[in-house]
Chains A and B, each alone.
Chain A
């Protein structure tokens, strides 16, 4: 069985966060026409609260490099780049360089200050090409027009690790979870990918005894779930952050999330550059206009250029939905943000997108 068939059979999905079927991506690059093809391993890991790639590079460098080599061979690629954040490079470049040996694999250190967006796949291509670090208009997708406009396969560190396991028939449908926040046993763990958040927290002896909620998939763009919503797998980038309800005031949480996106917005599109700035401004007002606040969040969902902008509403809205809205009325005292306002403007409007 060739590698593509194996990947298909294993049902691998990307571990960068978007869970895109790996076989489809490989096939697309394979089929794409181009004099040269490239492979890029995304080791930028810019999402706060996620540290699994660091863990994998430290412990399974050989497997990751093997995975990249398999991709090079499969695609007859010209060259592969490991797009790596500066700290990881400092820590692991010597070990990895030894493993790489003479293979056509190069490091590209993620430019300092390129931030969160610097890990988005098309921004990453721009960075390697020396362009301004910003997302590209899609289509075309990197699979057909990526690095130097050539078909490019971009996978996350963990995905390449899984590829090598699949190739060696050792893949056991497990994934890495980063656990952080208000709990005792933080760190990176490997468990079956279908385990629920609840099970993972219990298994690691991290299930809190105090009122809490979690953020899944990163402390920046992850979704917030209350303690009653944990019977589902941890999606996205595979991280669980535990928050004590008592310790975290709504105002600080919302401001922190917005501060993060304000600092990370690249500035390309209006809803993100201007919208996040205005959201942050509104959050500081004594009497915020919550309807406008909600409109700005929805506008990001609807019209932002890239996934970063689209992710801004995720933590804020899921937090108000799943945590604030479930609290007793007298406990919610965040600048006039009562349940009625939340219900009328901040809830997920899942049906609204139907024509």
Chain B
């Protein structure tokens, strides 16, 4: 199948995903191979020299179309409110092959929808039994929260009953589901209403990853950088102001780098572990509460920006913070959960009110007939729109670590005036898609042993050897945020690489590449310093055991 696709020959496949071993469940990728008595599955057939393969004979068509029709009868069409309907793998197949989608009556009408906090849901009425969600939850993430119950036509994907296992809301099930049965719990309707009501000032802030992945929803090449179009698109949708979460990322870096140095110098709890990935935080709180003291208390970028919007910016703009609605556009489903954490409230307000995924954002654009690729690029609003290269690489695995190290080296130097200050820009040892990346970096004359965990499925060896490290970054999704559960579908290693490369390209192109050079951030931090208790409230958070 891969060979065919590389050569521009389309072969359909619903259960096949390059992230997983071949399953051969859906049986729609059938082809005819000379010498083979039966039809063959292209997903499990290795291409060999001299093989003669037909992908669209009458025989292939008959079985392929029949299997697609059978699959359609498992999936209750909810097209009018489905954010997939402009980008739906099933409808595409129906159109391509002229499938009678109603040939068989739907049989799963009474299935339940399982909701996981406010982040992710699995709608049994739409499931086509491809089992990608199970592979994502088990093979990829090693969470094993989903299981297959029953057999034959009664089989159903359900959460496990074991109370020692819980969902971390990473959404990898959703980003691997070919039909939208597993998906984010959408908030686009509420956001649409908030914009339309005009009672409030509606502010959008978008994560670093969005700019390098949203293009895919509009058939642009992987990794196309579209920062300006994202801003323009959000404005077009009616948001009053648009800020960049990369700004918040720079705030996070400042707070986190400071904390790292403090912990190292004052012999605090080490290794320090990053906390901007909400799925990882949930993982620690539930599975390893003993690691809570290791998590940096720095809030995450979306919460930092949201907090700055409702305090610093509201003050500057003379707006009552109660009149502001903050909407994040995130590559992530767990961010929806993070935004509802009560401990994040400051002055009685949540820093972020709604979280949309990349897919929801794309759907809103399409629903409003906004020709996204043709939008005239716009600039995010001052001053929470400014960002450094360090802020933008937050979107990829290793980025948070690299940003923090750039700033930590600088801050450490500041305290050792007189010595020659060595700072570094590129920390290549923490980049890339390897499961665990380890390297040693010198900060303030100390050799810092760092590890970057790319995907929660790779966490085990690092947790068992915690003492080997001083500083650890963990991203629950493979590739980091650019591979997040809210990202465009498909997301594969090839695509993750391209999105990631685009972030580093952006970083390289920025004049400012270090968080501590972001003047806006310095100004906000300075302002917060004068606000007493509020400073701590906006910059830091706390965690609690959840098991």
Contact = CB atoms under 8 A, between A and B. Distances in A.
Contact of A262 (B25, B70, B152): B152
A299 B152 contact: no
B30 A303 contact: yes
Contacts of A301: 38
B59 A302 contact: yes
Contact of B24 (A132, A266, A273, A305): A305
Contacts of A274: 67, 70-71, 73-74, 104, 153
Interface string A89-102: 00000000000000
Nearest to A133: B151
Contact of B38 (A268, A277, A281, A353): A353
B97 to A, nearest CB: 15
Contacts of A303: 27, 30, 38-39, 63, 67
A262 B22 CA distance: 25
23 contacts: A115-B151, A137-B24, A265-B151, A265-B153, A267-B129, A269-B25, A269-B26, A270-B28, A270-B67, A270-B71, A273-B152, A274-B71, A274-B74, A275-B70, A278-B70, A298-B62, A302-B39, A303-B63, A305-B24, A305-B25, A355-B32, A355-B34, A355-B54
Given A273-B153, A275-B66, A302-B63, 4 more contacts: A115-B151, A262-B152, A269-B25, A296-B66
B148 interface: yes
Given A278-B104, A352-B59, A268 B25 contact: yes
Nearest to A135: B24
User: Which 3 pairs of residues, A with B, have the shortest CB-CB distance?
Assistant: A274-B70, A267-B155, A265-B152
B27 A270 contact: yes
Q: Chain B contact residues: over half helix, strand or loop, or mixed?
A: loop
A135 to B, nearest CB: 10
Interface residues of B, number: 34
Interface string B152-186: 11110000000000000000000000000000000
A267 B59 contact: no
Contacts of A264: 152
B27 A137 contact: no
A277 B27 contact: no
Contacts of B37: 353
Contacts of A281: 104
Interface in B72-108: 73-74, 104, 107
A148 interface: no
B22 A137 contact: yes
B44 A137 contact: yes
Interface in A267-292: 267-271, 273-275, 277-278, 281
Contacts, number: 91
A295 interface: yes
B67 A299 contact: yes
Contacts of B24: 137, 269, 305
Q: Chain A contact residues: over half helix, strand or loop, or mixed?
A: helix
Given A265-B153, A303-B67, A270 B26 contact: yes
Nearest to B156: A267
A263 interface: yes
Nearest to B22: A137
Interface string B1-32: 00000000000000000000011111110101
Nearest to A114: B151
A182 to B, nearest CB: 30
Give the interface size class of chain A.
20 to 34
Of B39, B66, B107, the most chain A CB neighbours within 10 A belong to: B66
A345 to B, nearest CB: 12
A87 to B, nearest CB: 21
A267 B100 CA distance: 23
A132 B148 contact: yes
Contacts of B150: 267
Contacts of A304: 27
Of A132, A302, A303, the most chain B CB neighbours within 10 A belong to: A303
Interface of B: 22-28, 30, 32, 34, 37-39, 44, 54, 59, 62-63, 66-67, 70-71, 73-74, 104, 107, 129, 148, 150-155
Nearest to B73: A274
B155 A270 contact: no
Of A137, A266, A295, the most chain B CB neighbours within 10 A belong to: A137
A22 to B, nearest CB: 23
Nearest to B154: A267
A271 B70 contact: yes
B110 to A, nearest CB: 15
A251 to B, nearest CB: 21
A234 to B, nearest CB: 24
Contacts of B34: 355
B62 A295 contact: yes
Nearest to A266: B151
B151 A267 contact: yes
Contacts of A295: 62, 66
B275 to A, nearest CB: 36
Contacts of B74: 274
A298 B27 CA distance: 14
Contacts of B153: 262, 265, 267, 273-274, 277
Contacts of B39: 302-303
Of A268, A295, A301, A305, the most chain B CB neighbours within 10 A belong to: A268
A262 B461 CA distance: 44
B152 A263 contact: yes
A303 B36 CA distance: 13
Contacts of A115: 151
Contacts of B151: 115, 265-267
A303 B538 CA distance: 59
Of B24, B26, B62, B151, the most chain A CB neighbours within 10 A belong to: B151
Interface in A96-153: 115, 132, 137
Nearest to B71: A270
Contact of A305 (B27, B28, B54): B27
B127 to A, nearest CB: 12
Nearest to B30: A303
B482 to A, nearest CB: 31
A265 B67 CA distance: 16
Contacts of B28: 270
A299 B63 contact: yes
A299 B59 CA distance: 10
Contacts of B38: 301-303, 353
A263 B153 CA distance: 9
B129 to A, nearest CB: 7
Contact of B30 (A137, A263, A302): A302
A296 B66 CA distance: 8
Of A274, A281, A298, A352, the most chain B CB neighbours within 10 A belong to: A274
A270 B25 contact: yes
A55 to B, nearest CB: 30
Contacts of A278: 70, 73, 104
A277 B22 CA distance: 25
A31 to B, nearest CB: 21
Contacts of B26: 269-270
Contacts of B63: 271, 298-299, 302-303
Interface string A209-234: 00000000000000000000000000
A296 B63 CA distance: 9
A137 B63 CA distance: 20
Interface string A294-312: 0110110111110000000
A290 to B, nearest CB: 15
A273 B66 contact: no
